[in-house]
Structure 1
Amino acid sequence: MDVEALDELLSQFGTGRRLDEHTVGRLEGRKAVYDYCRELADRADDELFLIYASDELLDEACVPHAENAIDRGVDLHAGTKNDAAREFFRERLPEATIWEPQMDWMYERANYPKVSRLIVADRETVVVGLWDEDATGSRTEVAMIGEGQTNPLVVLTRELLGPRLDHLDYQSDEFLGSLPFET
């Protein structure tokens, strides 16, 4: 993957403006991504699907937004292969379905930018965060965002996730704990 080509591609997307059904937007900086994700949790009606690569992006200030969504009847699904992140979700959001993603593309070790988080709300809004690391090792988060059923980023994400969105209960602690055999 050519990081410079990706950066050039991302620079062509709109930033700082309201998205329409065909726009793929870009957010720069952890604060901008946090703010957008909190707003997304506040707007979710039915489902909030989260994947976090690690626990370093989990923030106590986000918990009330997730709790409010759950109180409104939103199904919250939180996935991570990181033990500390799973523990964070279990302790602070026990009503959420916690699961371990089976998508190796998100966790492979490579020199390419790493996915930091993936959030899908109501299967119509998507945030894909990436770590942008410079030569000194300093990292910032950059995110692509899309809204609407026909938004290219939303459609691509739904296609990549495929039936995983429909079968999260099969990985939940509650489901696995009720099986008649050990897992």
Structure 2
Amino acid sequence: MKRPSDRSEAEHTRDTLFRCLANGHQRYLLGYVHERSSSGVAKSDLATWHAATIHEKALIEVTDSEHERARTELHHKHLPMLEEAGLIECDEQGSVTTTDHPAFEDSSIVDAVTDSETVHDESLDALFDALADSRRRTVLSVLGQQYHPISLETLARDVAARESNTPERDVPQDHVQRVLVRLTHVHLPLLGDTGLVDYDTEANLVSYEGHPDLRVQWLESSVEDVMDSVGSADPETTDVQTLEGTEIIVSHGQSLCEEANEELFMLFSTTGLLEEGCFARIEDALDRGVDVYLGSRDPVVRETVRERAPEVVLWEPQLDWLNLSSDTETVGRLVFADRDAIMLGTVGEKRSGGSYDEKAIVGKGADNGLVTLMGQLLGSRIDHLDSQTEDVLTQLSL
């Protein structure tokens, strides 16, 4: 578990990373160096390439004055920022290479800096600029786990509690008020302008809208924060891992939705488990051409999904397989992506605030025991869903 000082340092590192990525020229520059990092890129050659990119001309057509201006811009602006963020390093011979920064292990970030067709997309500038502040990331994390729009004061209290790692009831009201003021005048207007949230200033209600390129893991302060919430077993030697707590379970489920390329099979026992962030990722998956299936016994869940995402194949499970024991513990969430990664979550007693005690088991990979088991259990039934009419789907024994 991280100490507050460790967490602040990790959040600052994330702020710096996203601040660098919020500039299209720096994204393209970083991608160019990363793809040539094995041999390194001479600063002079980098300046020529940068000038050619800015002026949209061939390398051989770059003039001496254009090269000099590009070299000066690299020296005083782009390279220092990338170096400060720990993304690149420059040796004494003037060669530039990328480092072993964890960002390069994230395929979505690598795509953002190497895809020549989208690297200069202004929507990416706005997205990464919005993420370059730990409080805004916390706001998005909170809103992504809500089902309905929430009041501004509720949001401020939740954000304050998470930032101080304190139960909501213990957060002083004056601190909540300070957070509320900053949200109102600084963070929510920016998030609203980028389309990440909807902020109704008259009703003082805020809801999550999302972005097709936003990834759940980007809202964590570091990779270690995610792993702190996962069972202590070594993922290299453990077939199935355990997650505890609603926040990490919601994040992992939404990540699976983001990773799906062909098929997404889900089950939710109640509307209280189908968050706005999940809806946004279901809609993004549909836009990518993913086949999405969702089952629930709750008619409110089915009707809500039908209204929000009519392309989703809906059904009502008939078998009583959701009840696991006499302890009132039931399957609450199931997310199965591309028959290659799964999360099976249980809900226990409902707390006074309306949330549940939640645990989940997760597995990934064709050879994973849990994935294999659930694939055998659900595979043929998923295949059968495509050929059913809506009336038949409501009677399907699954």
Counterpart position of 1:47:
263
Q: Shift of residue 172 of structure 1? A: 4.8
* 1:150 counterpart = 2:367: yes
Does the residue aligned with 1:161 lie in a helix, a strand or coil? helix
TM normalised by structure 1 equals 0.77
In the other structure, the counterpart of 2:278 is 62
Q: Give 1:111's match in structure 2, choosing from 327, 347, 358.
A: 327
Distance 2:241 2:350 in 1: 22
TM-superposition CA deviations, 1:111-162 (whole Å, max 9, x none): 3521111111000111100113399998311010000111111111122225
The structure with the largest alpha-carbon Rg is: 2
In 2 relative to 1, CA 97–135 (structure 1 residues): closer, same or farther, beyond 3 Å? closer
List 4+ stretches of structure 1 deviating above 6 A. Answer: 134-138
Higher deviation after alignment, 86-95 or 159-168 = 159-168
Q: Which residue of 2 aligns with 1:89?
A: 305
The 1:174/1:92 distance shift into structure 2, 3 A limit, reads farther
> Is the contact made by 1:79 and 1:98 (CA closer than 8 Å) also made in structure 2?
yes
Query: For structure 1, which runs of at least 5 residues remain unmatched after alignment?
Result: 1-13, 177-183
Q: 1:30 aligned to 2:254?
A: no
Asked if the contact 1:55/1:82 (under 8 Å) is kept, the reply is yes
Q: Which has the higher strand share?
A: 1
Partners of 2:299 and 2:249 lie apart in 1 by 23
| Equivalent of 2:378 in 131, 138, 161 | 161
User: Alpha-carbon deviation of 1:59?
Assistant: 1.1
Contact persistence 2:328–2:348 (CA under 8 A): no
Alpha-carbon distance change, 135 to 89 in structure 1, aligned in 2, over 3 angstroms: closer
TM-score by length of 2: 0.37
Identity %: 38
Root mean square deviation of aligned Cα: 2.9
Once the two structures are overlaid, the 10-residue window that deviates more, 145-154 or 99-108, is 99-108
Secondary structure of residue in 1 paired with 2:318: coil
Q: Distance in 1 between matches of 2:317 and 2:265?
A: 11
1:72-87 to 2 correspondences below 5 Å: 72-87=288-303
C-alpha displacement at 1:95, in angstroms? 1.1
* Residues 9-20 of structure 1 aligned to structure 2 (within 5 Å): 15=231, 19-20=235-236
Q: Name the aligned partner's letter for residue 369 of structure 2.
A: P
**2-structure distance, mates of 1:87, 1:134:** 23
Higher relative contact order (CA 8 A, sep 6+): 1
Instruction: Indicate if the aligned counterparts of 2:351 and 2:357 stay in contact, CA closer than 8 A.
Output: no
In structure 2, what is the equivalent of residue 5 of structure 1?
none
1:121 corresponding residue in structure 2: 337
Asked whether the 8 Å contact 2:324–2:331 carries over to 1, the reply is: no
**Equivalenced residues, count:** 163
8 Å CA contact 1:19–1:146 kept in 2: the answer is: no
8 Å contact 2:267–2:334 — kept in the other structure? yes
Say if 1:174 and 1:67 are closer, same or farther in 2 by CA, change over 3 A. farther
Q: 1:64 to 1:138 in 2, by over 3 A?
A: closer
Counterpart of 2:280, as a letter, is: P
Cα 1:132–1:90 shift into 2, 3 Å: same
Deviation at 1:54, TM superposition (A): 1.5
